Amino acid sequence: MVDHPSQPKVPAVLPQKPGKIIAVHVAFESRAAQRGRWPKKPSYFLKASSSLAESGSEVIRPAGTELLAFEGEIALIIGKPAQHVSLAEAWDHVAYVTASNDLGIYDYRAQDKGSNTRSKSRDGYTPLGPELIDAQSIDPTQLRLRTWVNGEVVQDDDTSDAHMIFPLAQFVADLSQHMTLETGDIILTGTPAGSTVIHPGDVVEVEVDAPHAEGQPTSGKLKTTVVEGPGDFDPEIGLLPQIDDKQREDAYGDRTSAGLPEDPNAISDELRARLMAAPTAGLSAQLRNRGLNQVVIEGVYPQTKGTKVVGVARTLRFLPGREDLFKSHGGGFNAQKRAFDNVRPGEVLVIEARREPGSGTMGDVLALRAKFRGAAGVVTDGCVRDYEAVKEIGLPVFTQGAHPAVLGRKHVPWDVDLAIACGNATVVPGDIIVGDDDGVIVIPRDLVEEVVDAALAKEHEDEWVAEQVAQGGSLDGLFPPTGENKENYQKFLADNPPANPAEGVSS
């Protein structure tokens, strides 16, 4: 049988065909920052050994798909079996380092449900080489990874401690706890920021080198050309490729590059104006009319009287303080810092602190960062350090009050962007948060339009009622208006329709 020129081949540079290829989900700080999610421990998926290809090969983007993305990566090739090896001895089991390209079709990513089987194990989707670097002759923290697309550098990162979430040797040690890593097995160690969609005709080159090592060893440039090929997807046999905005965003690296609106959760200026005009008391009443009673974040009020906050919920959760967990989760770029560092314009950062009054949950530096990022405000059912300094920053903050203690006294910053319980109310990322002097309420996203319209209409009615009461009118039949009073209000309404709080605001 004669191979087609573009048929994938096991790279001749490999000492033997690997029994397994294991890929790391996220390992570079830059990639995690791009995604806004930092793994606490490594996680993995498998790629088929039949996906291997050599430098100079073509990779097929099947007809009917559009989101083929490259990922320049460092490949580790196991030199001797590793089973239950320690972190200190793990690198001794790595024979070679080289360049790899962890190609994938995001059109199948959602259907794979995390396995990446169809999206990343197609023939030719793991080009590798062209040369091997002796792993024992280099420092694994001083490797450089670069990727070019059509001659332009799109990835340039290194394996220093500052740039990696986990050291390369950790993958060997970790995996060896669960399986025997055999001679020839390959570990793909994750990609830095810069991975994006490629198209037929594009040429991708990946190089790994050790510029500070003697002789500056290099893998050479791993070259792959994208070509269009048949899809041949049979709907009677399996799932067809399918994409959505989430897959587009992840494939391109960010929403702007994918041609999507900057923030999928953003509310229009027009809706924000209406919510700013609606009191929380009125909004709460409308939610109650729709069967939602536990929507008030209890016990929190604005630092500065007269403050109004409106925005989309972004969440942060603290667990009860525990010394060992604070050692692992309290330092460095922890969940608290990530939440304040990544909050987007118009979002309200909502913090679950279990209504614990004995410690601060934020201070002036974090408030400054949120203000700079354009956050609409912060709501915490805990307390605030640097209370007066935070108030002067001008960021709307709703809290129980002040407390001087640092975070570690009562709290462990644990995770972000998940459903939380704040002030005895459930808050889901994407909910609408509205706060004023009466407190803070949570509005489900799918109800916000009808709730705010009804609240504004009722507010207009209540203003008329208040005027009648001020002129001596009895509450009987007036609050709410019934009978003749209702008729009088309808006449008033016809001549005095409610003002549009969003008038002049473009959405």
Q: Structural domains in the chain?
A: 21-229 (3.90.850.10), 293-443 (3.50.30.40)
- The C-alpha atoms of residue 389 and residue 349 are separated, in whole angstroms, by 19
**354 assigned binding-site residue:** no
Question: How do the pLDDT tens digits run along the chain, 507 residues long?
Answer: 334 445 567 888 898 889 999 999 999 999 988 877 788 899 999 999 999 999 999 999 999 999 999 999 999 999 999 999 999 999 999 999 999 999 999 999 888 888 999 999 999 999 999 999 999 999 999 999 999 999 999 999 999 999 999 999 999 999 999 999 999 999 999 999 999 999 999 999 999 999 999 999 999 999 999 999 998 899 889 988 988 888 888 899 888 888 887 776 788 889 999 999 999 999 999 999 999 999 999 999 999 999 999 999 999 999 999 999 998 898 888 999 999 988 989 999 999 999 999 999 999 999 999 999 999 999 999 999 999 999 999 999 999 999 999 878 899 999 999 999 999 999 999 999 999 999 999 999 999 999 999 999 988 877 887 888 898 888 888 788 888 878 887 888 777 777 777 665 544
The DSSP annotation for 196-213 comes to -B--TT-EEEEEEE-TTS
Radius of gyration of the chain (CA): 29
pLDDT at position 4 is 44
Dihedral sign of CA atoms 261, 265, 271, 272 in order = negative
Helix locations, 95-177, DSSP H: 109-112, 117-120, 168-176
**364 assigned binding-site residue:** yes
**417 assigned binding-site residue:** no
**385 assigned binding-site residue:** yes
| Phi/psi of residue 214, nearest 5 degrees | -60, 130
**146 assigned binding-site residue:** no
**363 assigned binding-site residue:** yes
